[in-house]
Amino acid sequence: MSLKVGVIGTGMIGQDHIRRLTQVLSGVAVTAVADISRERAEAAAPEGAAVFDDPKALIASDTVDAVVICSWGPAHEEQLLACIDAGKPVFCEKPMVTSEDAALRVIEAETAFGRRLVQVGFMRRFDADYRRLKAVIDTGSLGAPLMYKSVHRNASVPEGLYTSDMPLNDTLVHDADISRWLLSDEVTGVEVRLPRRSTVGKDLRDPTIVLLHCASGAIVIVEISVNIAYGYDIRGEVSCETGVAALPNRPATVVSDQFGIRQAIPEDWRERFIEAYDQEFREWIVAAGQGTATGPSAWDGYASTLVADAALRAVDSGGHEVISMIEKPALYA
Amino acid sequence: MSLKVGVIGTGMIGQDHIRRLTQVLSGVAVTAVADISRERAEAAAPEGAAVFDDPKALIASDTVDAVVICSWGPAHEEQLLACIDAGKPVFCEKPMVTSEDAALRVIEAETAFGRRLVQVGFMRRFDADYRRLKAVIDTGSLGAPLMYKSVHRNASVPEGLYTSDMPLNDTLVHDADISRWLLSDEVTGVEVRLPRRSTVGKDLRDPTIVLLHCASGAIVIVEISVNIAYGYDIRGEVSCETGVAALPNRPATVVSDQFGIRQAIPEDWRERFIEAYDQEFREWIVAAGQGTATGPSAWDGYASTLVADAALRAVDSGGHEVISMIEKPALYA
Amino acid sequence: MSLKVGVIGTGMIGQDHIRRLTQVLSGVAVTAVADISRERAEAAAPEGAAVFDDPKALIASDTVDAVVICSWGPAHEEQLLACIDAGKPVFCEKPMVTSEDAALRVIEAETAFGRRLVQVGFMRRFDADYRRLKAVIDTGSLGAPLMYKSVHRNASVPEGLYTSDMPLNDTLVHDADISRWLLSDEVTGVEVRLPRRSTVGKDLRDPTIVLLHCASGAIVIVEISVNIAYGYDIRGEVSCETGVAALPNRPATVVSDQFGIRQAIPEDWRERFIEAYDQEFREWIVAAGQGTATGPSAWDGYASTLVADAALRAVDSGGHEVISMIEKPALYA
Amino acid sequence: MSLKVGVIGTGMIGQDHIRRLTQVLSGVAVTAVADISRERAEAAAPEGAAVFDDPKALIASDTVDAVVICSWGPAHEEQLLACIDAGKPVFCEKPMVTSEDAALRVIEAETAFGRRLVQVGFMRRFDADYRRLKAVIDTGSLGAPLMYKSVHRNASVPEGLYTSDMPLNDTLVHDADISRWLLSDEVTGVEVRLPRRSTVGKDLRDPTIVLLHCASGAIVIVEISVNIAYGYDIRGEVSCETGVAALPNRPATVVSDQFGIRQAIPEDWRERFIEAYDQEFREWIVAAGQGTATGPSAWDGYASTLVADAALRAVDSGGHEVISMIEKPALYA
């Protein structure tokens, strides 16, 4: 009784999810694929899977119980709405959509349908380190969370392709989502500060400091450095009233040699989050098998869109950009 | 084209492997189970799986491509020989067998068959921490390994059920196997030293220090403490000519509170090694699907039997108990 | 040929310095003390030391080569000017003075004298951890410093006595001074953000986030929490272009017990910085013996006064408060 | 009222102690020096100190309240006995003496005198890390200590000068003394095991494993590696009934760069133990000023001599060499 999954978009991330669904996880089969390039779709399709030119046809097909969207961002809205219309659970890679209005249309459709169907690809929530951190905070033993420091360091980004807006509209969304989730809070305002610029990335605006003001009053300080050379280093520390909780070092061999006592740092996001991606889909499969979704929701996709938009405005204004959200539908309570 | 697996023995560990094979891993189906208690077998059998009273009938059945043996130790030899006779890949929980002669009979049968079929359940070799540690040693960048310290601490063992021989014939096998594997070496002699006894376990002989002398001259120092209360703490450190490499702390949240700056320690072996068990079977499924085995072999089962036997002798003699092995068959090279 | 030191102010900190100068350090003798309470002065005076009612008489006395000022802040200016007038080296506890104008008068007097005489009590610069951190930054091997995070956590502050301005005009000076020193930079602007308030300190405004904007463009993020209960925890991390350097955990025994694997955290500033205080005076004695001063200068005292003033303004304004300094006299180059 | 100290032996370690006594510590003056080389003595003597050719004349001199012995080992006995005869407190560098008989003669003389006068130079007991470790053990919160692992790694030893007996009669004494002190125990037997030899030291027998059997039944496992290249790395871990306590990493900057997340390791014993040496003399000065001694005693010197002798015998015998001590005089209780 495997879940029959159709995958839309067979680029790098789509191919990786097909590998995951067919070779790593149980209880699932990839029965259909679609891509704007039929050639790429055929190359990526597992044996026996149907190949579609039209994503909507894939979504409508009887061979598909649930959908994974890995197409490019601007195509997501239409595909999500089609999935909701078909009543089929759907996993959508981030960004969920590319505008606030589009996010609201997805939310409206899903609330009208009356049951959650959409899971957005914020994989950090499935990472064991983050889950343990949230579990500590949620016990309340350290008191209320007052500040959160989120450090997001990439070894490098491709020169020219990764532009100065991307720390805010591409990279920041992970920190924004995990902050909201860890603190069980909403972001109500955003400030951006630009420190002395790194000379590594030439004309790139890097690093970036972002302050997220939360509804509770908690403040999140995000440090984004995208060309820091030494590795992919993701850190998080929650300061509470009577204690502090932080992500640990990654579990690397402790070597003592001429360079000191040391542990290797992950090279990239694949190495760091591969198990989170597996777990993300493991849970999605269970929920989708029951006709619904349980992970990061369309509401979370909406919230992250608002934060990115506000951050971009804050760079221009230099000020505190307020975020105002619609009232939260009961579906996302 | 899933691998059809028959499971013999549906006690606690057998049930856990059935869960793993049916709910966690892909490319595999449990199609048959057997147990000396038919009632227990029926309770454990997944939907559609055949239930056998006779393990040999399960092994011979067409519904079974490969076998997982979780029966009690004394039954292993006969079941392993039946699997080899049937040419079916088999995963066997430790102890592989309960005597040196039995181990030699399994080796003889497998070498006569001419292809590896047997994988023994030393799951530590599949643990990511140990794999990274071995990778560091194997680069040779720290020079030759000269000493290895293996620390094996259990929070507690059941009073009365866990007897004074068990640190040596039950617990030690993991340290012995992982030492041989990390150092790419064989154990040629064993000494046991008994420190001041812990009062926690009452009449139990605990803790235990074991020295394993290796063919290369490297010495392994094993500390076994089975009632140390604070957690399940597995440590390993390899001292090489120009550096040292060690297992890291487990990745737990770093909490700063009234007890200091601290990380939780695993409670038991399930928590510590659950991912290693998954990976152990993931790789077994791939090899078994190709009609063979690639993990810890019958040779490794034989070696660990010899170490346990020598350790028990060393307690009585107080001396250095020599181990002599047969010449290693080319099959295990 | 011991340095003869006169101590002004024999309260808690004065008594501690007298203990240090008489019992811990070599090459120094306390030959005179003064206090507004003659009784307290007499109780604190080492055997043979002269007791003065008038601090200026102490400064002028032949029995005194150099002066340590531990009186309350508003008295510092007059005493510093008297020391400079007498050409005697002087160690002055922080705050050096209590207004920008006073700081400028001290600088003017010292530059007119033409040789450094004043050392201000920023003891962190003498702490071994901070010195090693600065040494790493100063090699340049990690590239230019772009951001610095300074974490200042007190277990508790006395209710009622420690008021809401004190995180900014009392506590922050340490972070400001150490930031300037670590980064070899000046602070040119200050912002303050007030996160969700801790309920521990009742009406106290706590915690506090301060952003220090530096001349180089580097941004310092200071977290001040003064009632965090779990200990006195001082942290610092410099993010550079191609790497990061941070203060280590303090060297406490690594205990594995029912609370996890853990290290104790210092209880208070005495425990954390006692060796830094010793070293601070060790180096002061050497310089004072040569008729001059080498540690944190009147310029550093001036700079920290400006930061505190700007931080207080920033709380009220909610904005970015600019700092403008006079041109730096060559004496402080 | 400074303590007037005479220093016998002005080689490297003697010069370092003169520096310490004159430039670092308070309450002490070096008033006399002696050396077999008058030229070296004169060069090392502080201004105003008397220079003696005859150590006994120095000991007898009125200019000397207490003595520091830094001559070579074979000269210690006679000098110690002269100090005891003169009733003067004496600090003696290790080895206290070079034979069991000599140790007994020192003990006999001191017990006859009736008050402790001798402190032996086991500086590790004054190291803050070891003191905190002992404090944890001594609370009893982890239960009784059952095993202790002492790791003694030198970056390198001078080829030719450092011979194969020296790990046992020179290096081991530190581990033996600190083990006795940490565990509040006596060593009753010694075994030595020689692992695969490091190729770094050519013909040197290295590394060495030593097992110390204690009166309580506790077993100490010492690992000595003297050419491990990467640094001077001293480790210690006490396994108790319900927990474990260990020395921490040394407090070095935490650097994240292309070599990982790392901390530097001390280069040599000076860097590692410089503060312990200072503290050792700080406490000696206090006790000597009261006409007695409080640190490691002649009894401790005797015990360490016995361990070194037994270890050398154990290399030859390959067996368990028993140590038998005289009854402990009440003076050392």
Condensed to tens digits (0 to 9), the pLDDT of residues B101-137 reads 999 999 999 999 999 999 999 999 999 999 999 999 9
Residue C1 has pLDDT above 80, yes or no: no
Domain with CATH 3.40.50.720 in chain D: 3-123+275-297
The rounded distance, in Å, linking the Cα atoms of D32 and D1 is: 16
Nearest-CB residue to A254 (from B25, B128, B248): B248
Quick one: average pLDDT of B240-268?
97
CB contact under 8 A, A252 and D265: no
Chain C interface, Cβ < 8 Å to D: 22-28, 128-129, 132-133, 135-136, 141-142, 242-258, 263
CA–CA distances in Å: residue B52 to residues B21, C204, D105, D222, D292: 18, 72, 81, 55, 83
Residue type, C60: A
- Whether the CB-CB separation of A221 and A234 falls below 8 Å is answered with no
CATH 3.30.360.10 spans which residues of chain A? 125-269+304-332
Six-digit token string for A13? 């991330």
From the list C22, C142, C253, the residue facing D133 with the nearest CB is C253
The whole-number average pLDDT for the span B12-21 is 96
According to the 3-state scheme, what is the secondary structure of chain C?
CCEEEEEECCCHHHHHHHHHHHHHCCCEEEEEEECCCHHHHHHHCCCCCEEECCHHHHHHCCCCCEEEECCCHHHHHHHHHHHHHHCCCEEECCCCCCCHHHHHHHHHHHHHHCCCCEEECCHHHHCHHHHHHHHHHHHCCCCCEEEEEEEEECCCCCCCCCCCCHHHHHHHHHHHHHHHHHHCCCEEEEEEECCCCCCCCCCCCCCEEEEEEECCCCEEEEEEECCCCCCCEEEEEEEECCCEEECCCCCCCEEEECCEEEECCCCCHHHHHHHHHHHHHHHHHHHHHCCCCCCCCHHHHHHHHHHHHHHHHHHHHCCCEECCCCCCCHHHC
CATH topology of domain A3-123+275-297: Rossmann fold (3.40.50)
Q: Which of C209, C230, C233 sits opposite A242 (nearest CB)?
A: C230
Cross-chain Cβ contact C265/B260 below 8 Å: yes
Cis before C251? omega within 30? no
Joined together, the tokens standing for residue C179 give 């930031």
Average pLDDT over residues B290-304: 97
**Per-residue pLDDT tens for B136-148?**
999 999 999 999 9
- In a mutational test of the A interface, the residue from C137, C146, C200 whose CB has the highest number of chain A CBs within 10 Å is C146
pLDDT at D20 over 80: yes
Token match 């509470």: residue?
A240
Mean pLDDT, residues B275-293: 97
pLDDT of residue D1: 64
Looking at domain C125-266+304-326, its CATH architecture is 2-Layer Sandwich (3.30)
Q: How would residue D203 be classed by pLDDT, with cut points 50, 70 and 90? A: confident
CATH 3.30.360.10 location in chain B:
125-273+304-321
Q: Pick D257's closest partner by Cβ from A230, A249, A256.
A: A230
Residues A64 and A54 sit within 8 Å (Cβ to Cβ): no
In chain A, how long is the greatest CA-to-CA distance? 63
Topology at the third CATH level for domain B125-273+304-321: Dihydrodipicolinate Reductase; domain 2 (3.30.360)
Strand order, beta sheet including B66-69: B50-52, B28-34, B3-8, B66-69, B90-92, B118-120
Helix then strand then coil, % of chain A, to nearest 5: 40, 25, 35
Q: Boundaries of CATH 3.40.50.720 in chain C?
A: 3-122+275-296
Cα gap C328→C311, rounded to integer Å: 22
Q: Please list, in sequence order, all residues whose beta carbon lies within 8 angstroms of the beta carbon of residue A185, skipping any fewer than 6 positions away.
A: A179, A214, A215, A216, A218
In this structure, is the dihedral angle defined by the CA atoms of residues B236, B238, B239 and B245, taken in order, positive or negative? negative
Query: Is 3.30.830.10 the CATH classification of the domain at D125-268+304-332?
Result: no
Considering chain D, what is the average pLDDT of its residues?
96
% of chain C exceeding 70 in pLDDT? 100
Nearest CA in chain B to D265: B243
Residue B1 — pLDDT band, cuts 50, 70, 90? Answer: low
Identify the band that residue B203 occupies on the pLDDT scale cut at 50, 70 and 90: confident
Superfamily name and number for C3-122+275-296: NAD(P)-binding Rossmann-like Domain (3.40.50.720)
CA distances from A318 to A284, C315, D47, D195 (A): 40, 18, 66, 66
Residue D129 CA: distances (Å) to CA of D178, D237, D272, D284, D285? 12, 12, 11, 19, 22
Interchain proximity A260–D265, CB inside 8 Å? yes
Instruction: Write the burial class of residue C270 (CB in 10 Å: 0-12 exposed, 13-18 middle, 19+ buried).
Output: exposed
The DSSP call for residue B21 is: I
Q: Residue written as tokens 């050719």?
A: D53
The candidate with the shortest Cα–Cα distance to C142, out of B55, D10, A198, is A198
- CA-based nearest residue to C93, from C19, C12, C168: C12
Mean pLDDT of C219-238: 98
How far, CA to CA in Å, does B68 sit from each of B61, B73, B93, C191, D83? 14, 13, 8, 65, 77
User: Hey, what amino acid is at C86?
Assistant: A
D246 to chain B, closest Cα gap in Å: 13
Q: Which amino acid is at B53?
A: D
From C29's Cα to the closest Cα of chain D, the distance in A is 10
| Arithmetic mean of pLDDT, C296-305 | 97
Neighbours of D1 (CB within 10 A): 6
What's the pLDDT tens digit per position in A57-90?
999 999 999 999 999 999 999 999 999 999 999 9
The pLDDT of residue A1: 64
- D-contacting chains (≥3 CB pairs under 8 Å): A, B, C
Question: Can you give the pLDDT of all 333 residues of chain A as single tens digits?
Answer: 689 999 999 999 999 999 999 999 988 999 999 999 999 999 999 999 999 999 999 999 999 999 999 999 999 999 999 999 999 999 999 999 999 999 999 999 999 999 999 999 999 999 999 999 999 999 999 999 999 999 999 999 998 899 999 999 899 999 999 999 999 999 999 999 999 999 998 889 999 999 999 999 999 999 999 999 999 999 999 999 999 999 999 999 999 999 999 999 999 999 999 999 999 999 999 999 999 999 999 999 999 999 999 999 999 999 999 999 999 999 999
Region C97-111 average pLDDT = 97
Of B229, B233, B260, the CB nearest to C262: B260
CATH topology of domain A125-269+304-332: Dihydrodipicolinate Reductase; domain 2 (3.30.360)
- Tens of pLDDT, residue by residue over A195-213, are 999 999 888 999 999 999 9
Closest chain D C-alpha to A228 CA, distance in angstroms: 9
Residues of chain D contacting residue A257, judged by C-beta atoms under 8 Å apart: 230
Can you tell me the mean pLDDT for D241-256?
A: 97
